[in-house]
Amino acid sequence: MKKPFGAPLKDEDVEPIVDYLVKTYGAEAKKTAARGASAATPH
């Protein structure tokens, strides 16, 4: 977002933002959600 759209981000802010997005919306978040859903599903 910084380069293509000119987002006003400081260089030191980019990594924490990426980490947050990956944890919240990335593959790890999907795995965690799937584990939670399967644990809540009666067997």
pLDDT in tens, 1-43: 788 888 899 999 999 999 999 999 987 666 666 766 665 555 5
**Which of 21, 23, 5 is CA-nearest to residue 13?**
21
pLDDT the model gives residue 5: 87
pLDDT the model gives residue 16: 95
Per the structure block, which two tokens stand in for 6? 């000119």
Give 17's contacts (C-beta < 8 A, 6+ positions apart).
Answer: 9
Q: How many CA atoms lie within 13 A of 35 on its CB side?
A: 6
Per the structure block, which two tokens stand in for 12? 């030191």
pTM check: above 0.85: no
pLDDT the model gives residue 40: 59
